[in-house]
Amino acid sequence: MLIAQISDTHISVPGKKAYSVASMADNLTHCVEHINQLTPRPDVVLITGDITYSDHPDEYRYAAELLTPLGMPWFVIPGNHDSRGNLKNCFDQVNCPVTSQILENDFINYVIEEFPLRLIALDSTRSKHPGGEFCDARAVWLEQQLDAAADRPTMIFTHHPPVKMGVRETDIDGFIGAERLAAIIEKYHCVEQLICGHVHLPMFTRWHGSIVSAAPSIGLHLRLDLTLQHPSQFCLDAPAFQLHHWTADSHLVTHTISLGAISGPHPF
Ligand SMILES: [Fe+2]
Ligand SMILES: [Fe+2]
């Protein structure tokens, strides 16, 4: 099974660039075309939040238009640049099959059951705040889902990494309820990996018996500042995405694919 992960697309309205300089629509088109031509073809594409630049309904519509050519099922979750209501107004049950309506909240949580690896969409957003959150209601829901198939290998896809990874986007933006999520991850050994976005850099770390990974953005590359002293800056980079390969031997192997110009291939 092959899963493509596209993250942090930050799509503006047609004709506008993200932060006035980043051609994210072109980058997304490039990724979609590349994914459609891959052999083997990914079985599914997960878009892990920050779909829009500024949460405008037209930006969601444009993102949907750009994603529609994907030749396989694809699914969306929100990031901190998005809002649940606007996202759900644009993406239907095919691409955002929300079934949980928890209390007065409206989390974008759902489970995709039809693949060898069970895929759980977990809404980590915190209203009007850049950081992540995992509240009691979401904990109850997640535990119910994991209980329902605790022997099936599972991937959780969410926007915010729940662990401090040494950059502002995790350490300073924060994640309320990380210890709550950690307790669940520690309990359910079926969780192979939590795949995230938000950081705009490919990063991995071991966390409570599982792996937390962050995908690159499709072109807004975070300038790495391990001092945590400087305001966030980005560089424009080639479009990139990740491929998570659930191998025949049941190992989850992650590849980061950059669509920048290269020379080759040459024989080894
Ligand atoms: Fe982002
Ligand atoms: Fe984000």
pTM of the model: 0.97
In a domain, 265, yes or no: no
d(CA 207, CA 209): 6
Supply angle C-alpha 198, 152, 37, rounded to 5: 55
Closest ligand (CA of 8):
1
- Distance, CA 8 to ligand 1 centroid (Å)? 4
Position 264 in a domain = no
Does residue 242 sit within a domain?
A: yes
- Angle (CA) 218-134-114 rounded to 5° is 65
As for how many domains the chain has, the answer is 1
CA of 125 to the centre of ligand 2 (A): 9
Q: 39 alpha carbon to ligand 1 midpoint, in Å? A: 28
Q: Does residue 78 lie in a domain region?
A: yes
Q: 203-249: per-residue pLDDT in tens? A: 999 999 999 999 999 999 999 999 999 999 999 999 999 999 999 99
The confidence score (pLDDT) of residue 166 equals 96
Q: Tell me, yes or no, whether 48 lies in a domain.
A: yes
150 falls within a domain: yes
Ligand number, closest to the Cα atom of 124: 2
Ligand that comes closest to the CA of residue 131: 2
Tens of pLDDT, residues 45-92: 999 999 999 999 999 999 999 999 999 999 999 999 999 999 999 999
Ligand 2 center–CA 265 separation, angstroms: 34
- Amino acid sitting at position 144: Q
For 82-139, write each residue's pLDDT tens digit. 999 999 999 999 999 997 565 457 899 999 999 999 999 999 999 889 999 999 999 9
Domain that holds residue 119: 2-258
Residue 214 Cα to ligand 1 midpoint, Å, equals: 11
* 143: enclosing H helix or E strand: helix 136-148
pLDDT at 100: 55
For residue 117 the two structure tokens come to 């690896």
Q: What is the CATH number of the domain that holds 137?
A: 3.60.21.10
Question: How far apart are the CA of 198 and the centre of ligand 1, in A?
Answer: 5
- What is the CA(263)–ligand 2 centre distance, in A? 33
Distance in angstroms (rounded) separating the CA atoms of residues 24 and 54: 13
* Closest ligand to residue 200's CA: 1
Specify whether the CB–CB gap between 185 and 210 falls below 8 A. Answer: yes
HSE of 132, CA atoms in CB hemisphere, 13 A? 30
Task: Give 133 Cα–ligand 2 centroid separation in angstroms.
Answer: 12
Pair of tokens at residue 10? 């930050």
The ligand that comes nearest to the alpha carbon of residue 7 is: 1
User: How far does residue 166's CA lie from ligand 1's centre (Å)?
Assistant: 17
Q: DSSP characters for 47-97? A: EES--BSS--HHHHHHHHHHHTT-SS-EEEE--TTS-HHHHHHHS-TTT--
CA of 213 to the centre of ligand 2 (A): 14
Task: Assess if residue 136 is contained within a domain.
Answer: yes
- Alpha-carbon torsion (144, 115, 154, 171), positive or negative: negative
Residue 236 lies in a domain: yes
Start-to-end C-alpha separation, the chain: 27
